[in-house]
Amino acid sequence: MTHKTHRAFGCYGIATINQRLIVIRKNAGPYIHRFDLPGGSLDGPEPLEHDVLREFNEETGLTATIDRQLGATSFVYPWQYEHWTINQHICVFYMLTVTGGQLVKTVPQFIGQDSLGAQSVPLGKLSWDNASPLVMFAKDFLQSGQADLTTKTFREWTVLKEASAL
């Protein structure tokens, strides 16, 4: 069987409030009904640094500054989407410091918005059952201080049918 690979690219922010990771509740795509990191696709010829700060603000209500770019990696897994059978999610990760705003539980919905809103979650409550690979990368980074930027390939990926994990 020939696999057709869909590639998604985005910039994602890792930030905490009181030792709790700031996450969004995903409402579309392969991470639907899971916690995900705030971030996403570029808006035109936008600099990566601008993208991560814009997306972080749109999806969380918070403003932030970039501490540093951690690097890029990708997550590869089976996903039946349109005519594709594999997804390769290419991610650039940034460590952020929150500088203002208020964490919003709901965000304005528009075409392309795949966040229902944000919350902060203790690291111990994040698992493969309720979070995206991006969140699990962030959890590992925050706990170990090391950014493992090797591509992760999954033989299976479950797209959740309901939001019971959140």
Residue 163 falls inside a structural domain: no
Q: Would the pLDDT of 165 be above 60? A: no
| Residue 165 lies inside a defined structural domain of this protein | no
User: pLDDT tens digits, residue range 50-69?
Assistant: 999 999 999 999 999 999 99
Give the tens place of pLDDT for each residue, 65-88: 999 999 999 999 999 989 999 999
- Residue bearing the bigger pLDDT, 111 or 121: 121
pTM above 0.75, yes or no: yes
Parallel, antiparallel or unpaired: strands 84-101 and 35-36: unpaired
Tokens of 77: 């897994």
CATH number at residue 72: 3.90.79.10
The kind and range of the H/E element at 40 are: strand 39-40
Residue 28 lies in a domain: yes
- What total number of domains does the chain contain? 1
Spatial distance between the Cα atoms of 160 and 84, rounded to a whole number of angstroms: 18
Is 166 domain-assigned? no
Residue 109 lies in a domain: yes
pLDDT at 36: 97
Domain encompassing residue 22: 5-153
Q: Is residue 158 part of a domain?
A: no
